[in-house]
Amino acid sequence: MDLQQQQWIDQQANFNDFEILDVRTPDEYEEGHIPQATLLDINDAPAFVAGLNARNQDKAYFVYCRSGARSARACQVMAQYGFKNTFNLLGGIMNWQGPIE
C-alpha cells in the first residue's frame, strides 16, 4: 500500500510488531536513513531474498527508498513472498520531513 508520510507514520500505530526497511544501497543508507530502519538492498537480489526468507511474514513492514520506486517494487516482491502488510513511503527519503540518522 502506497502512503504519504503522515499516513505511513500513523499506520505504524496499528501494529504491535513492525519493521522499517530501507531498500537503498549501503552507500545511500550510510549517507542518512530514517531512525530504526534496517538496510535490505533490493538491488542485491540474493541478499534481498535471503533477508525476506529470514523475516516473519505476519509482521508489518514500512518500506522506503530514495524516491519511492524501489520501495514500491520491494513491496510487490514481498507480496509475492506472502507478506501481507507492506507499506510504501511515497516520495521516499527525498520527501521525508523528519529525523535522519
- Residue 89 domain boundaries: 2-95
What's the confidence (pLDDT) of residue 69? 97
pLDDT tens track for 20-67? 999 999 999 999 999 999 999 999 999 999 999 999 999 999 999 999
* Of 4, 71, 1, residue with least CA distance to 39: 71
Beta bridge partners of residue 89, listed in sequence order: 3
Residue 18 lies in a domain: yes
- In this prediction, residues 72-89 reach a mean pLDDT of 97
Angle at CA of residue 61, ends 55 and 62, nearest 5°? 145
Domain count for the chain, please give it: 1
Residue 39: give its domain's CATH number. Answer: 3.40.250.10
pLDDT tens track for 5-27? 999 999 999 999 999 999 999 99
Residue 38 lies in a domain: yes
